[in-house]
Amino acid sequence: MYQSASKSAKKQSNTVGKPSDQNIARRVQTETIDYTEVEQDIQTFQDISNLKLQNKLISFKQPAKKPVVKDFNIQYQQCLKNENQIKSISETVKKCQKPQGIDIINTKSLLISSKPIKQDYSTYTYQNLKVIGSGSFGTVSKSKVNETGEIVAIKKVLQDKRYKNRELLILQELNHQNVVKLKHAFFTPSDNKDEMYLNVVMDYYPESLYTYNKSFRQVQAKMPEILVKIYSYQLLRSIYYISLLSICHRDIKPHNILVNPNQHKLQLCDFGSAKRLVKTEANISYICSRCYRAPELIFGAVNYDTQIDVWSVGCVIAELFNGEPLFLGDSAVDQLIEIIKVLGTPTKVQVLSMNTEYDMQSYKFPLIKPRDWKKVIKTNDSLAIELISKLLVYCPKTRFTPIQALCHPYFDQLRDLNQIKQLKEIYNFNLEELFQFSNLETNKMTNDEIKKLIPNWISCSSTKIVKTIG
């Protein structure tokens, strides 16, 4: 029945989700996954994992204190000697110039960050160690700060001088523990005089959620469900934060989610497709990697909102349980068929809720009943199944919002003090960070949501709620 349904639906390719010529010209490069590049990235991340133990800080013994000179004349002569040495050193330093760029190029600040930072990365130089990602957008390298030894990631993209870089502008505004942090940005010249490269310095994380989840599959195992819960919670926190700024990521997938398995921390990265959505402004529908693309995009909606990120997150969480993508279509229409196989055929009301401009005269889909979610998600946790079923809903308005998902009972285990103590003994993770909400986040919460999301034991352990952003 599914095969015949698929053939019937594919005949509708001219009416369902097919991009116009204009949209094809504007299509994002994340649509097609280059599996050769993915395998290369996986090998790179494995190589990086072998170096984890070499990243420990080296402690140095403090030099012994010099004996105090009690004789005044001797002390005075010593001061004069030191002063002459300082002058000599100062004159030498003035003659020296700082090494430039990544080895040779000046890394002068592109823009002043709107958020205060502890270190001034504009004064540093960088050494590329290894390319850890590449594509049509450019390259991402694992790099080292020469002056401090810190490991960072540098994304290098070709920049058109006529336009501002949307990703950079968005990254400058973001400041959240579950979103990749911008440290610095600078230009380097290209072979073409009319072009330049934009280099964005960011946090470095050793793995992506894709490579980490695959490491379990390679040994025929599943990621522990408590880790699925911890990572899912942090991922939901990241999209809750950016949605408050009206920023839509538009390409959430395991490859664009960074994790540190040693501390079980997660950060959302790669904002190359992200955009601040404006209600009066149309957006392209041909966006987001296919397996994680919300159905309203397949139906050609151009007035969507940040709820398309919620759908993508639901797909990611389901993939952590199942070990493979939940909806694996080989085209836009086939992707819709894969969704229909699970959610059932959408009603006309549901279609219009996804795209009010959809031509209902071309609405001809085979009638398929929805499947039982218990047979779809490979877990015995009924709360996890319920959460996923609320995230993967046709109608964007009835689909769970990020804050509703965070308040779901599935995450109550993380808010229970007794269970938290047990988890801290097993996993090297500061679970209290899960409840450190910023002013921006708490100001948008209701009192009931605050009571739900910030446990009493957090309030008791500190005089006030920790605020990460002023």
Domains located in the chain, CATH noted: 2-27+207-461 (1.10.510.10), 102-202 (3.30.200.20)
118 known ligand binder: no
CA atoms of 354 and 296, how far apart (whole Å): 5
Listed residue (319, 329, 320, 287) closest to 306, CA to CA: 287
CA atoms of 352 and 301, how far apart (whole Å): 10
From the list 41, 251, 270, 309, the catalytic residue is: 251
pLDDT, residue 364, reads: 80
CA atoms of 257 and 280, how far apart (whole Å): 30
- E-assigned strand segments in 240-394: 247-248, 257-260, 265-268, 275-276
* Environment class of 11 (CB within 10 Å of its CB; exposed 0-12, middle 13-18, buried 19+): exposed
CA atoms of 13 and 437, how far apart (whole Å): 45
Could you state, in chain order, the average pLDDT of each consecutive group of 10 residues for the chain (470 residues)? 40 41 36 40 42 36 38 44 44 38 36 53 92 83 94 91 85 96 91 85 94 94 94 98 98 96 94 94 94 96 97 98 95 93 95 92 86 97 98 98 98 89 76 89 95 83 41
How many CB atoms are located within 10 Å of the residue 431 CB? 17
Residue 197: φ, ψ to 5°:
-105, 135
Q: How many helices (H) and strands (E) does the chain have?
A: 18, 10
pLDDT, residue 224, reads: 94
* Environment class of 120 (CB within 10 Å of its CB; exposed 0-12, middle 13-18, buried 19+): exposed
CA atoms of 23 and 21, how far apart (whole Å): 5
Enter the tokens of residue 173.
Answer: 């505004």
* Environment class of 298 (CB within 10 Å of its CB; exposed 0-12, middle 13-18, buried 19+): buried
pLDDT, residue 394, reads: 98
pLDDT, residue 422, reads: 78
Spell out the SS3 assignment of 79-116: HHHHHHHHHHHHHHHHHCCCCCCCCCCCCCCCCCCCCC
Runs of H (alpha helix) within 200-331: 209-217, 225-244, 295-298, 307-322
Listed residue (254, 190, 188, 191) closest to 223, CA to CA: 254
Enter the tokens of residue 360.
Answer: 């209902």
Phi-psi region of 447 (alpha: psi -120 to 50; beta: other; left: phi over 0): alpha
Catalytic annotation on 251? yes
pLDDT, residue 118, reads: 64
Characterize 415-426 residue by residue with b for buried, 16 or more Cβ atoms within 10 angstroms of its Cβ, and e for exposed. beeeebeebeee
Listed residue (388, 300, 287) closest to 17, CA to CA: 300
What does R_g of the chain's alpha carbons equal in angstroms? 26
Q: Are 69 and 75 in contact (CB under 8 A)?
A: yes
pLDDT, residue 191, reads: 82
Listed residue (140, 147, 128) closest to 167, CA to CA: 140
Q: Are 160 and 186 in contact (CB under 8 A)?
A: no
pLDDT, residue 109, reads: 37
